[in-house]
């Protein structure tokens, strides 16, 4: 993929979305219902967007469309569903939506994902603010040509913005929503991890594990888009509960936490968009 190859994507989206987005929402498995909260919504299926990967099969919990509009006064574009490396896409394919939406003007990104809990004490339904990640997918969307506006060697010392996390913790306290912070391990999938792999991840410092998020955050940081990540702990990782893992369980718990997650996102969005704009003005 070259920088010219995303130009038709950007042109198409600029024509469909009449207002420039301030923030990108990336919604994970079972969490796409957040997009239903967007006002004055314009919906565009992924398959209608030039340059977007063409999905050969639908994944439960991923509607596969962009939803643009307002949430709490903030102009947003939500990815109701996302692309995964385990579907066979290249890292640059997975990163394409972030590159395109950043080109429209977005400078903040809020990502949600479904994750398996590794840290002792986690229970399904817990919410974890991602403080850092382990890229155990061993792939990187920045390999190859450097796109205009992207850093060749981006600093990843603060991939999930500390100010955004403080804002999210403040909102959570105000709303009495329990949250914690932790490290997310991104693995390739599509298999769930073995008990031995889960023990290894715990020793490496991971608190939760999933199959997404990391590629999008890497390219966002190269562009200068600040990120807030929220993991919904939908199940305990293999070997910790004595139960077999299933995608149905992921979907069920995602539905159960919807109300809390919507409240948290609604509360934090107006705080992270001005924070990002203010930092740009100061620079």
**pLDDT at position 34:** 83
Task: List per-block mean pLDDT (blocks of 10 residues) for the chain, which spans 283 residues.
Answer: 76 92 87 85 94 68 81 93 90 93 95 93 93 96 91 96 97 96 96 92 97 96 96 75 57 73 93 64 40
What does each C-alpha distance from 18 to 26, 134, 272 come to in angstroms? 20, 37, 22
Q: Decide if 198 contacts 240 (C-beta within 8 A).
A: yes
**pLDDT at position 251:** 63
Which pTM was predicted? 0.88
Q: Which residue has the tokens 């994944």?
A: 59
State yes or no: is 244 an active-site residue: no
- Give the total number of structural domains in the chain: 1
State yes or no: is 23 an active-site residue: no
**Annotated catalytic residue, options 92, 103, 108, 212:** 212
**Annotated catalytic residue, options 3, 41, 72, 86:** 86
Say how far apart CA 150 and CA 8 lie, in whole Å. Answer: 19
Q: What are phi and psi of 273, to 5 degrees?
A: -65, -50
Give the helix/strand (H/E) hosting 43: strand 39-45
**Annotated catalytic residue, options 22, 23, 37, 62:** 62
**pLDDT at position 81:** 84
State yes or no: is 22 an active-site residue: no
**Annotated catalytic residue, options 3, 140, 200, 247:** 247
State yes or no: is 235 an active-site residue: yes
**pLDDT at position 226:** 96
Say how far apart CA 275 and CA 279 lie, in whole Å. Answer: 6
Q: Which of 228, 265, 217, 229 is closest to 35 using CA atoms?
A: 265
Q: Decide if 141 contacts 219 (C-beta within 8 A).
A: yes
CATH of the domain at 143: 3.40.50.1580
Say how far apart CA 272 and CA 62 lie, in whole Å. Answer: 25
What residues make up the domain containing 192?
Answer: 3-282
State yes or no: is 86 an active-site residue: yes
């Amino acid at each position: 993929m070259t920088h010219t190859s995303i130009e038709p994507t950007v042109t198409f989206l600029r024509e469909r979305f009449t207002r420039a987005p301030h923030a990108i929402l990336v919604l994970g498995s079972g969490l796409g219902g957040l997009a239903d909260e967007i006002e004055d919504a314009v919906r565009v299926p992924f398959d209608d967007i030039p340059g977007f990967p063409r999905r050969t099969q639908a994944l439960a919990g991923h509607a596969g469309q962009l939803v643009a509009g307002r949430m709490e006064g903030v102009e947003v574009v939500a990815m109701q569903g996302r692309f995964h490396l385990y579907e066979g896409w290249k890292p640059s394919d997975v990163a394409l939506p972030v590159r395109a939406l950043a080109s429209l003007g977005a400078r903040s990104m809020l990502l949600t994902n479904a994750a398996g809990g590794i840290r002792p004490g986690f229970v399904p339904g817990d919410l974890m603010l991602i403080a850092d990640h382990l890229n155990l997918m061993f792939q990187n969307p920045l390999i190859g040509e450097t796109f205009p506006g992207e850093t060749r060697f981006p600093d990843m010392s603060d991939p999930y913005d500390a100010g955004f996390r403080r804002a999210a913790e403040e909102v959570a306290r105000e709303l009495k929503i329990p949250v914690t912070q932790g490290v997310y391990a991104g693995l390739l999938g599509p298999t769930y991890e073995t008990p031995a792999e889960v023990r290894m991840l715990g020793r490496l410092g991971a608190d939760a594990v999933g199959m997404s998020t990391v590629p999008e955050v890497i390219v966002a940081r190269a562009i200068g888009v600040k990120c807030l990540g929220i993991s919904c702990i939908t199940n305990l990782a293999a070997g910790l509960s004595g139960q077999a893992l299933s995608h149905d369980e992921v979907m069920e718990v995602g539905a159960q936490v919807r109300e809390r997650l919507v409240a948290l996102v609604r509360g934090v969005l107006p705080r992270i968009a001005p924070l990002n704009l203010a930092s740009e003005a100061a620079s």
